[in-house]
Amino acid sequence: MESKELYKTIYKIAKVVNSSLEPKVVLGQIVEQVTRTMGARGCFIRLLNRNGTLLKPDAYYGLSERYAQKGPVEVGKSKLDQEVLAGKAIYIEDVRNDGRFQYPQQASEEGLVSLVVVPLIAHGNKVIGVLRVYSGETRKFTEEELEFLSCIANLCGIALENARMYTALKRASELANAYVYQVFED
């Protein structure tokens, strides 16, 4: 994979992050760009639920609806995700034969073989989810590709943090306006 292509994709994704505060829109475009740029089978972003026990599907590209909805990824049952949520990038050469992967049968049916997973980090160094890239054949990922994916995961974290702060400010503004309106009405 050419460095020039990776940098172009980072630039495109940074523009997407700056252009929208809608997480679904931003993350949807990110998974598509990552899949196309890396020539991957698919890309998936999963975010932790409030109590940190489940990784819930948020955005994916190149994967079937059946695979995306195969079941919950329970952090307690997934050694792979436990390692990634601790801040470590993980590469698996063949998910069909690796005990750390929670759904090997479904991956086999989907035609998935190699996988790389990086932590999705926001608000300093808090891991809030994972970004996964799947290959349909045995594939090694270069150090440059892993750095690219870590950069993209950080951009995802920035996008989600921006959206969260915007929503909080919007809600505070609505409450302030409602209070002012009520005070002047009374």
CA dist 158 and 147 (Å) reads: 17
The model's pTM = 0.87
Q: What pLDDT shows up at residue 93?
A: 95
Q: What is the pLDDT along the chain (186 residues), one digit of tens a residue?
A: 688 889 999 999 999 888 888 888 899 999 999 999 999 999 999 999 999 999 999 999 999 999 999 888 999 988 999 999 999 999 999 999 998 888 999 999 999 999 999 999 988 789 999 999 999 999 999 999 999 999 999 999 988 888 888 888 888 888 888 887 777 776
Owner of token pair 């943090």: 161
Q: What pLDDT shows up at residue 141?
A: 92
Q: What pLDDT shows up at residue 17?
A: 87
Strands (E), 65-107: 73-74, 90-92
Tokens representing 52? Answer: 């940190």
Q: What pLDDT shows up at residue 186?
A: 66
CA dist 34 and 130 (Å) reads: 14
